[in-house]
Amino acid sequence: MYITDLRKKTLRWVEPFGGWNKLDVAHDYFKTNIANPDTGLCNRILHWEVAHFLNKKNNYQYNIMLNAKDWPELYLIDLPNSYTDYKGLELEDSLYDNAYNELKFKTVFDVENNTVKLSKQLDKKELDSIINKKGILSEEHYYADFGYIDLEKVLQKNKKLLNEYLHDIHCRPLSFIKLRHQFIEFTLREGTMNTIGVHMRRFNGVSIDLKKKNNFKDGVLNKIYNELEDSRDVKQNYTFYGDDVYFELFDRILEINPSQQFYISHDLPDVFIQPYISKYGDRIMDRRFFTLPVNRHLHSSGLNIEHLRRIGNVNNNIIDLFALSFCPFLVTNQDSTWSEFAQFYDNSDGLKPICPIDWNVDDIVHSYKKSDLSKLSSSKKLI
């Protein structure tokens, strides 16, 4: 496929939050850091689902264009019918501000006719109009300008389309995303095959007061959390669940199956998982379990693993998200797009048990008792 073919019809999906990846030119790192590794990956994926839906309704006549600077994860994952506009990941690209890069991204370059034009603005009003017309597009080029909104909310304007989407919810667009490296998929699947995936969201966007902070029994962790708080940069909409909540749940499940392992996906520095490792030993896994083999594979494949880390915490985020998603039983954090991805990815039949952490612990344990995991012999050694 030639580059001119890529741009014959395009849906140019502008990052909805104005760009999370503002580089520090002097030091060459993104503003999201070890204290706050949240790059909004799953928000971007759910935003991308709208483009995929529109493309499907138009018989896949369009190519979805993504700004390379906002999507460094595309080194490791493949989004159907989606392409980056240009590499744009070198240090000199950071000399141009986001406004310049966004304007370039929205612009259609007709090389054959030596002309340029701006693609059509797809704001909320235009999007609603298109949804009312069954999703049919009339222009050749659009750029997204309706902010962050997921596909289910978009379809509220057309009950027929909404019902179709909900009927096939377990085959939603995100379920067609693929890891580019079969070795990584095999490693993560095998490593989490009999594991309970637990998503702990306890930092960015989480409301926490002094009483909840005291839930960190280790005073050092309490101090570290206080020092990290300035790195939080999104509205605090989520509930904080402390160690006592998870300890009770893990204890109850281990009474049923002492061999049960837990994969913890979390958004705090790894030191916050140490109390779980101290209490439960090798029953606890996190992304570090996979980091060495995955990074070794990426390095042998010719990828610069340090560059991937610096441009968007790519290695850790992809390992963590897909390891959680491959777990056959999930304890999720309600309203989190990270949990939402894990719930629907690799769950085409909709049979994977999903238990939000705000459920009563008895209900989660009951769901576990009914699952295949609880029936595994405690004498069988899990991976």
pLDDT tens, the chain, 383 aa long: 445 555 689 999 999 887 665 444 333 444 444 444 568 899 999 999 999 999 999 999 999 999 988 899 999 999 999 998 765 445 555 556 677 888 889 999 888 889 999 999 999 999 999 999 999 999 999 999 999 999 999 999 999 999 999 999 999 999 999 999 999 999 999 999 999 999 998 766 676 665 666 666 666 666 666 666 665 555 567 788 888 999 999 999 999 999 999 999 998 878 888 999 999 999 999 999 999 999 999 999 999 999 898 888 899 999 999 999 999 999 999 889 999 999 999 999 999 999 999 999 999 999 999 999 988 744 444 43
Q: 105 with 197, same domain?
A: no
Which of 151, 179, 207 is the last residue in one of the domains?
179
**Do 55 and 125 reside in the same domain of the chain?**
yes
Residues 139 and 188 both lie in one domain: no
- Spatial neighbors of 246 by CB under 8 A, at least 6 apart, are 198, 200, 276, 357
Query: Cβ distance 290 to 181 under 8 Å?
Result: no
With contact defined as beta carbons under 8 Å apart, do 143 and 105 qualify? yes
The answer to whether residues 143 and 33 belong to one domain is: yes
The answer as to whether 381 is a domain residue is no
Same domain, 239 and 269: yes
Last residue within a domain, chosen from 147, 164, 179 = 179
Is 65 part of any domain? yes
Write b or e for each residue in 143-173: b if 16 or more Cβ atoms lie within 10 A of its Cβ, otherwise e: bbbbeebebeebbeebeebbeebeeeeeebb
- Does 174 share its domain with 186? no
Q: Which range of residues forms the domain containing residue 44?
A: 3-179
State the Cα–Cα distance between residues 328 and 45, nearest whole angstrom: 22
Residue 380 inside a domain? The answer is no
Asked whether residue 382 is assigned to any structural domain, the reply reads no
Domain finish residue from 164, 179, 194: 179
Check whether residue 136 and residue 58 sit in a common domain: yes
Same domain flag for 144 and 187? no
**Same structural domain, 100 and 194:** no
Whether pTM > 0.75 for this model: the answer is yes
Residue 196, domain CATH = 3.40.50
Whether residue 145 sits in one domain with residue 273: no
Among 219, 290, 279, which residue's Cα sits nearest to residue 244?
A: 279
- Asked whether residue 227 falls in the same domain as residue 326, the answer is yes
Looking at the 3D structure of the chain, how many domains does it have?
Answer: 2
Name the residue among 340, 346, 349 with its Cα closest to residue 327.
Answer: 346
Name the region of 312 (left: φ>0; alpha: ψ -120 to 50; beta: rest).
Answer: left
Q: Are residues 335 and 360 in the same domain?
A: yes
383 in a structural domain: no
Residue 58 lies in a domain: yes
Q: Judge whether 278 lies within some domain.
A: yes
